[in-house]
A = this chain, B = another copy of it.
Amino acid sequence: MRTVPLKLVTLVAETVLEAQLVPELRELGARGYTITPARGDGSSGVHAIDWEGQSVRIEVICTPEVAERILEHMWSEYFEHYQAIAYVQDVGVVRGEKYG
């Protein structure tokens, strides 16, 4: 089975940010996303803020270029003022052409 090598970007953020984030992901080039409800807890050494509560876990399968744009966007727009998690992994995707 031929799979296409792409990137899987996972974001975890407060639920309140979902409505803002989703259209931004579209503008950055994401062709789709999968959202699961989550609860998170993490202590930021930088801001000494504790974060506990309802969150969303947003997954985007995309090209390396779009992944780069999403991570940059998260960093520049959200990481200073919100507790958020953003990470990227390699994946092999069935019918991956449609994510391009």
Contact = CB atoms under 8 A, between A and B. Distances in A.
A19 interface: no
Q: How many copies does the complex hold?
A: 3
A68 interface: yes
Interface in A63-98: 68, 71-72, 74-75, 79, 85-95, 98
Given A3-B87, A90-B89, A33 B41 contact: yes
Overall SS of chain A's interface: strand
17 contacts: A6-B87, A31-B45, A33-B41, A33-B42, A34-B57, A35-B38, A35-B39, A35-B40, A36-B36, A44-B98, A61-B85, A85-B93, A86-B93, A86-B94, A86-B95, A87-B92, A89-B89
